[in-house]
Structure 1
Amino acid sequence: MNKIQPSQLTEEQRNATRLFKHLQKQIETVIAIGNPSEEDVKSSMEKVLALDKAYPLPLLGVMLEKFPAKFEPANWWPSTMFQKKNKSSTKMGKVNGWSKELEMEMREVVEVMKRKDSEDYERLGNIALKVNKSLAIAGPLLTGIAAVGSTFI
């Protein structure tokens, strides 16, 4: 009961495979363009490690706990990826039509939202985990009580 079901495992494996293939194509593209920088290598390594942490392969049902001790959000991509994209786009002279002041203001708003949303996300995740554990225990218990009760009727 505390393990991942085969259908869940299959879906996780499909998702992990899709993400790893996408990452492989990105790495192949960087290599095909030629002369990858040290930043490209570090970025690719961080992405691979983040995916490996989010989807430990091989995904075996006996390895994964359905009810972890603590709720932690998954780390899909390193946070430096967003910063690197912003730096590279400004280096190439591409302008998106926003002023620097507006960009800075929007970054501050995003940081505040991210901070508050991640706190809410973790709090609600912990609540959902506790409710899920309770229902996983209560379901069979109530079924057993109903079965015993039906024998007396």
Structure 2
Amino acid sequence: MKAAYTRRRLLGTGAALAGATLLPQARACEYFSANLRVVHPWTRATPEGATTTLVSMNFDDVTVADRLIEVITPVAEGAELVVDGEARALAFEIPEGQVSVLDERGSHRLRLLGLRHPLEIARTYPMRLVFEQGGMVLATLNVDYPRFR
């Protein structure tokens, strides 16, 4: 009986390992809606008293055009889109078949408003991204080094 148990256990372990190698690997900092992939949402550490911060991330593998319409995170009261230095309500267009970028140095930036506390290096915070077509995506906001002037 012991040999059958060992053989069954080895076969089960082998099947699990074989199945794991056939499945696509999930990468850290990638999140998916039905229409696109969100890659590495991050921000910089903020000093005491800061009320805003910029968030960077990419959108790719876009199969249906979509729009980012809301960002919800416990670290901020809200979010806005900054286009060429002008603040607007959040409605970031994500065209089909292209890579779209929100970047702290780009022409399109995502700004979190009303920070509730300083964001510390190497911390992560929950974040919900709401898309017009793709619905809600649960993501993690990673905090990187502060910008040195």
The TM-score with structure 2 as length reference comes to 0.19
Q: Whose strand proportion is higher, 1 or 2?
A: 2
Name which one, 1 or 2, has greater alpha-carbon Rg: 1
Could you tell me the TM-score, scaled by structure 1's length? Answer: 0.18
